[in-house]
Amino acid sequence: MLSDVTTPQDLDDRFRETLAALPAAERRRDPADPVTDDAPLTGAQVLDLFDAQVTSRQLDLAGRWLRSFGEGFYTIGSAGHEGNAAVAAALRPTDPALLHYRSGAFYCLRAAQAAVDPALTADRARSADPALTADRARSADRAQTGDSALTADRAPAADPALTGSEPSADAGSTVDGASTRPEPTADPQMSESEPSGHEPTSATVAANWFAPYVDAARDVLRGMVASSLEPIAGGRHKVFGRADLAIVPTTSTIASHLPRAVGMGLAVERLRRLDSAGRRTGAGVRVGSGAGAAHAPWPPDAIVVCSFGDASVNHASATAAFNTAGWYDHAGLRIPVLFVCEDNGLGISVRSPEGWVEATLRAKPGIRYFSADGADPVQTYAVAAEAAAWVRRNRRPAVLHLRTIRLMGHAGADAESAYRSPAELAEDLERDPVAATARLLVDAGVATGEELLARYDETGWQVRRLAEEVLGEPKLASAADVVSALAPRRPVRVARAVADAAARASGPGAGARAEAFGGKPPELVGPMTLAQSINAALADGMLDHPQMAIFGEDVAAKGGVYGVTKGLRDRFGAARVFDTLLDETSVLGLGLGAGLAGMLPVPEIQYLAYLHNAEDQLRGEAATMRFFSQGAFRNPMVVRVAGLAYQEGFGGHFHNDNSVAVLRDVPGLVVAVPARPDDAAPMLRTCLASAAVDGSVCVFLEPIALYHTRDLYAAGDGEWLAGYPEPGGWVAGHVPIGRARVYRVGSADDLTIITFGNGVRMSLRAAAVLAEEGVGTRVVDLRWLAPLPVADIIRESSATGRVLVVDETRRSGGVGEGVIAALVDAGYVGAARRVAGVDSFVPLGPAARHVLVSAEAITDGARTLLAR
């Protein structure tokens, strides 16, 4: 008797009862024939779907078993969603996929495709993490040679388990008995994973349907137990992802990955059309850029697949992604993305209103709608194949609405009886997609219920055995282990990349550079403003990085609202400099996808305040990619943001936002703030090189008020202008990440002012006043807010013993807090004081002066500090 909650025991019992009650067909069908007379799948192909579904189901049961004795840390499973195996079968193994956390059967089927396809297996060997290569090789050997320790050769067409004939005495070696590892628990709830009295027989080993699924099962189990040997995240999270399978890890699939999918689709299509930098049509697109990335080829006609749940349809990120895909489609640009909505009708306990998901998806302009019942494998495959073919042929977006159910609740101890009726639970059990596939196979005469139950039991036994193996594997053992994959810095390689760019610009690329600048390169123009210097550096970056693209609101035709990108579209074309729709989530999503596909994206966020609309694309998507893939996937990106305060005549908090706390809190993110023109160009070159070499995600925060500033001390002095260096000077002027710049005024022995951005100009003005009073000052321009130049801070502070931190952001959560903390951590014993903005939004007009730092306030703060 089933309870009111679909526990693992209930689900296993019900499945067994269902299979046992299935009557055998009147005649056997050759597995090589269509499973039904008009089906697009053969019996053998449906058996493959069944094996993938069963592997996923047994992994879900194993997850609950591991959790029952405290060794499993993730129990969100795929039970009820196993119909997505047919979606995987309808796609190509080289179509990049971003998977929902209930897409376990999809993952299992794709891994099996790679295990049996020699070409994909060879690519796996090339792209695997070196630390795991030997382990992967052993698994591949077992699958190919029939190692009795785990698997044997894949079943031939005349598999005795399918034909009903008795196996010969030497049909296969018997797998060793159950593990000698002591049972961690005697909880009978999970007995279905290792059926009572079941031992694998020679017949089941000969069948060996589980061989292609060994790696997939081990991958998932390692994720559940947080094993450091898990192949994609290395124990940092349980995700579906592997570079060799073209599966991009997504760590929180509440729609936040959908904008990236759109960006990937746009980039795949753009790169398909480009004939530059050695990428010719037909050569394929490779993941990431620069040395060190694990590459998986994406063929020119690849499409991007992205799965998500029905509740996510309502998320702002999903709305942004659908709108962007439709907007570009309406504009005539091609984005080959297949969205797959796995609709089980629930978002944890909140129901999707009947008909809402279909109505919502059908209403998306520019997106073709397809629908299938996930409990019908033949229909699901047929519709998914039609949808994939349509997207591949037309290079346009579509959505597959896949109706599913959810078994065993949301996760862990979720008590469904609190929000679902017994009748509803029983109805879902009747629609179990794995049971539906089994019925199809039995009704068609491809297998009997008893034979399928044997496959189910054998898979369960193998999964349980693998679970016991991974229990003893190492975990991440230190903070250093955890953060090792976060954001590696290789400053020597970055410096070398800048030097190489300089050599190209002055050597073989000199002619193209002269032509791009109309015969007058920027070093011959004369002193430049900050905006002009950034513009020239962007142009040099475009010349040196063929896959670099600049995009954002108003950056192309208008040249940016402050003219920073003026003329770049005319020089480099609309394919590389283009305007986007007004949505920051989509702008960053395009950048994320483009970087993952092999481009070097430089998106612009028009104002810092607008970044907050989309900051999770940086925090939850961009900065986590290397962390949760151990560097196998990267999204190199330099995000230009116009920000900070002090605009005259155009204000209010949206255009004078002085808050950067959300950026400094993101692990691994590089935050650069150039104050002077002669810093802007080398810092931007460093960011571009770091993105290309290390896959860095950089935010290049440009002080709006300094864009067109020309003077420092007095009107007309031109001391805030600077010349643009010729390529021969780029190496000498290289600015490494995390290195400050120091200005010495007078003796520079009495006071150290630490600041950045607009504070640099104000502090230099204050230092000039103090110099007239006999005070020597060191003005330290941080230049990098993340990582902070801690060594420079400590050295320059210790030199005077008096530190004034000038922080134009807010007093609470501002940069100054980080500077003071760095000094305290280093044991600094001198005097310190802060001058910071008030904890307030920036108001309009003259009122802003009451809450922002001024040169006068800096001077007064310095005098107070010196008087101690």
Measured distance CA(521)–CA(723) in Å, rounded:
12
Task: Enter the tokens of residue 491.
Answer: 């400053």
What b-and-e string marks burial along 389-401, b requiring 16 or more CB atoms within 10 Å of the CB? ebbbeebbbbbbb
Contact assessment for residue 645 and residue 852, using Cβ atoms and an 8 Å cutoff: yes
Q: Hunting for tokens 């025991």 — which residue is that?
A: 9
541: nearest Cα among 692, 703, 674, 679: 692
As a whole number of angstroms, the distance between CA 866 and CA 561 comes to 43
E strands present in 246-397 = 247-248, 285-286, 297-298, 304-309, 337-343, 346-347, 350-351, 368-373
Q: In what helix (H) or strand (E) does residue 809 lie, and over which residues does it extend?
A: strand 802-810
**CA–CA separation, 838 and 809 (whole Å):** 8
The SS3 assignment for 31 reads coil
The CA distance from 311 to 706, in Å, is 45
Cβ contacts of 82 within 8 Å, gap of 6 or more:
52, 53, 56, 57, 104, 105, 374, 433, 434, 437
DSSP codes, 593-610: HHHHTT-EEEEEESSHHH
> 451 and 163 in contact (C-beta within 8 Å)?
no
Q: Establish whether 315 is a catalytic residue.
A: no
The whole-angstrom separation of Cα 93 and Cα 131 is 24
Q: How many of the other CB atoms lie within 10 Å of CB of 837?
A: 22
Residue 282 φ/ψ region, left for φ over 0, alpha for ψ in the -120 to 50 degree band, beta for the rest: left
Ordered DSSP codes for 750-798: SEEEEE-THHHHHHHHHHHHHHHTT--EEEEE--EEES--HHHHHHHHH
d(CA 236, CA 221): 13
% helix / strand / coil in the chain, to the nearest 5? 45, 15, 45
Helix or strand or coil: residue 833? strand
In whole angstroms, what is the distance from residue 57 CA to residue 8 CA? 10
CA pair distance 590, 100, nearest whole angstrom: 20
Enter the tokens of residue 587: 């702008």
d(CA 121, CA 140): 8
CB 377 within 8 A of CB 328: no
Task: Assign 321 to helix, strand or coil.
Answer: helix
Q: How far apart are CA 538 and CA 602, in angstroms?
A: 9
Please choose, from the candidates 484, 471, 474, the residue with its C-alpha nearest in 3D space to the C-alpha of residue 628: 484
Q: Using CA atoms in the order 140, 145, 148, 153, what is the torsion angle rounded to 10 degrees? A: 100
Q: One of 655, 708, 734, 850 is an active-site residue; which one?
A: 655
Catalytically active residues, by annotation? 655
